[in-house]
Amino acid sequence: MRLTLSVIKADVGSIGGHTKPSSRMIAAVEGEVAKAICNGLLIDGFVCHTGDDIAIIMTHTRGEGSSEVHQLAWKTFLAATSVAKTSGLYGAGQDLLADAPSGNIRGAGPGVAELSFDHILSGVRPAESFMVFAADKCGPGAYNLPLYLAFADPMYCAGLMLPPMIKGFRFHIIDMDNTAGDSLLELDAPADSYHIAALLRDNERFGIDRIISRTHGEVVVAVSAQRLHAIAGKYTGKDDPVAIVRNQGIFPAPEEIISPFAKAHFVGGDARGSHVMPLMPVPLNTPVTGMYCLPIVSCVGFSIDREGRFAESYTDFFDNPAWDEVRRRAQRKAIEMRSQGWSGAAMLPYSELEYGGFRDTVSGLLKRFRLRDERKPEAAE
């Protein structure tokens, strides 16, 4: 069977500020997903949240970009928006930027990560397992560094030295600044790994769209690499990307994929989407309530049975005491960075504030600047 994994996520409202969706919203989403499983549109589905973003994780045979599956997600998020509105929640419908998009909703606000494969459970994939990363309060390139390290650096993934992976992986890199459409470049690791790094270092402009095994031609990673402000034309909250990563066998093992997150690397995001702060790995369904508004990331893992079902149970990768150490490090890095307040590297550069109110404040002041020679002389006493 040709199986598609679709993860579609959106922030459509949250309680007490930008913290988490309400349980009534989650119940509304679960209800719609259950109906779609019942009527055969989906094989299976799982609903969770990371901070204020709800993710719907689905298996089906409709292919990537299926208008039925995308419309289901859109209608489901509309239902959750209406619950959020009734309850007076913050940011109701925030990520639903288009007016009733028809068909595929990529580019309409919700984050979309999708990949497809022949689900035959034999040969190179005798078992199928995958992980879903979901991040809140951060920019679209939050996975650039950890995915690069897992798929291009044997210091993090020693499995890259094994025969099924030694030819490396093909990175499809997207230029998220191109508003004309998805603009992609394919580069191979390890041959082009310095070129890949030269692009991925810019988390705000370039992102990983997908990663493919060079030995087997199988897609292993799909990321929702799109910029919300490129869609909306103004700041409408942070991008909060999701990613699907298949694992084991011909792909890296889970621990090789998650170990780069032990860095708690700095990303753009946090309060008003405008600071540079560490990415903290957290358990599934964590609200954003700590001091500051730290970027967070969750990671849940599933196995898929012969029929394409997966949600009978799951593994919550960051719900483990080993990650407490990383969380403490992230918090320490955050306190250090925030002790610098608004100065220089602690906040995103001017170009990244372009779509926020900070830009209005600065442009108002820019109008008042005068060349030294053109300024009126001081009135004589």
Catalytically annotated residues: 11, 235, 238
Tell whether 290 is in a known binding site.
no
CB of 43 to Mg ion, least distance (A): 25
Tell me whether residue 53 is annotated as binding.
Answer: yes
Chosen from ligand 13P, Mg ion, none, partner binding at 64 (C-beta under 5 to 8 Å by type): none
Name the residue whose CB lies closest to ligand 13P: 237
* Cα distances (angstroms) measured from residue 12 to each of 29, 53, 86, 204: 11, 7, 12, 23
C-alpha angle 290-295-301 in degrees, rounded to nearest 5: 105
Least separation in angstroms between residue 282's CB and ligand 13P is 14
**12/187 with CB nearer Mg ion:** 12
DSSP H or E stretch at residue 358 = helix 357-366
Contact partner, 209, from ligand 13P, Mg ion, none, Cβ < 5-8 Å per class:
none
CA distance 277 to 330: 9
Choose between 83 and 277: whose C-beta lies nearer to ligand 13P: 277
Report the distance separating Cα 335 and Cα 349, nearest Å. Answer: 20
Positions touching Mg ion (CB under 5 A) are: 11, 18, 52-53, 91, 136, 237-238, 240
Rounded distance between C-alpha atoms, residue 221 and residue 147, angstroms: 9
Is 238 known to sit in a ligand binding site?
Answer: yes
Contact of 130 with 244, CB cutoff 8 Å: yes
Q: How far apart are CA 240 and CA 318, in angstroms?
A: 17
Residues of this chain that bind ligand 13P (CB under 6 A): 11, 18, 51-52, 91, 94, 136-137, 237-238, 240, 253, 271-273, 293
Contact (CB, 8 A) for 301 and 247 = yes
Name the residue with tokens 């080993």: 322
Is 71 annotated in some ligand binding site?
A: no
Written as one string, the DSSP assignment of 32-86 is HHHHHHHTTS-SEEEEEEETTEEEEEEEESS-TT-HHHHHHHHHHHHHHHHHHHH
Closer by beta carbon to Mg ion, 168 or else 237: 237
Q: For ligand 13P, which is the closer residue by CB, 271 or 311? A: 271
CB of 10 to Mg ion, least distance (A): 8
Ligand-binding annotation for 350, yes or no, is no
Q: How far is the CB of 360 from Mg ion (least distance, A)?
A: 20
- Residue 272 binding target from Mg ion, ligand 13P, none, CB below 5 to 8 Å by type: ligand 13P
